[in-house]
Amino acid sequence: MEITSKFNTFCLAQHKLEPNQKKKGKIHRKQKGANRGDGHLEELSQKTSQWKLKEAIKNINNKKQPGPDKIFPEFIKNFGTKAINTLLLIHNKYWTSKMNLPADWTKAMFILILKSGKPTEEMESYWPIALTSILAKIFERIILTRLKWFLESQNSLVEEQAGFRNNMST
């Protein structure tokens, strides 16, 4: 699959491996004894399970505002089985094909929030906030979880990389 090939190429470049070090679907580091791969690339490109989709939906904050599609998190959290299965089918279709995402999922609405005590006539007085599709955020969460799992399972992150990692920040 194309995404697997691209990710494999990326991993090889990151670990400064020579192309001939890649054998039988496994990636080997130059450091002795550290085998890489073990079928994880294949798992990375597999379809998402219903359980993982439900977990991603459950973890979306109810206070999030909708993006251009005007779909609120509470609406998605109350999906029945048929709607969940349809959403899963859509997600897996986009994940396993070369199709572009729906236009509403790639757009954002921008709003400006005035910083307290700042003059309204200066642009620096505002925080720009981008509101994106909740459905896109759910799919992003699934992909992020998958990529984090992959990087952790491959020991691809150095110990000093603590930001945005579970049990690693101070």
Model's pTM, two decimal places? 0.66
Tokens of 42: 């294949």
Establish if 75 belongs to a structural domain. Answer: yes
Domain that holds residue 66: 49-135
Q: Answer whether residue 108 is part of any domain.
A: yes
Task: Output the pLDDT for position 153.
Answer: 81
Helix (H, G, I), strand (E, B) or coil at 104: helix
Within-domain flag for 69: yes
CA distance linking residue 91 with residue 12, whole number of Å: 28
What are 110's strand-pairing partners? 130
Domain-located, residue 8 = no
Look-up of token digits 């700042």 = 118
Residue 105 lies in a domain: yes
pLDDT tens track, the chain, 170 positions: 344 344 444 444 443 434 444 333 333 333 333 344 555 667 777 889 999 999 999 999 999 899 888 899 999 999 999 999 999 999 999 888 878 888 888 889 999 999 999 999 999 999 999 999 999 999 999 998 888 888 888 877 777 777 666 776 66
Residue 64 belongs to a domain: yes
Strand partners, 113: 127
Give the list of residues 6+ apart from residue 116 with CB closer than 8 angstroms, or none.
Answer: none
Q: List, in order, residues 6 or more apart from 117 with CB less than 8 Å away.
A: none
Provide the number of structural domains found in the chain: 1
The letter for the amino acid at 155 is: N
* Inside any domain, residue 71: yes
Flag whether 67 is in a domain: yes
Which residue is listed with tokens 């939906």?
57
